[in-house]
Amino acid sequence: MLAVLRNDMDVGVTIFVQMFKEVKPVRFVRFMTEQATISDFICVIWAMPKGAFVLAFFRAFFRSSFRALLSRKKLSVTDE
């Protein structure tokens, strides 16, 4: 969630509004106080806007893949 907020602060309002609309207050309180059940986690995750999180996942995936590729190239250049 922090990666999503870091990339686009405006989506934070959308995330929390969506959660408050879709998730019952009791579930949300348990989630925020680290007393959530599996069903609480599922409900909160399901209430999130999927697009922003999918985009953040791909950004993180490609960023880490690119870093790994660069580190391999640096190792091969220094080994020669």
Q: Tell me 33's DSSP state.
A: T
Question: pLDDT of 28-42, one tens digit each?
Answer: 899 889 899 999 999
3-state secondary structure of 35: coil
Say how far apart CA 27 and CA 77 lie, in whole Å: 53
Question: pLDDT of 22-79, one tens digit each?
Answer: 999 999 899 889 899 999 999 988 888 787 778 878 887 887 777 776 676 655 545 4
Domain locations along the chain: 2-79
3-state secondary structure of 28: helix
pTM: 0.54
Q: What's the rounded mean pLDDT across residues 3-22? A: 78
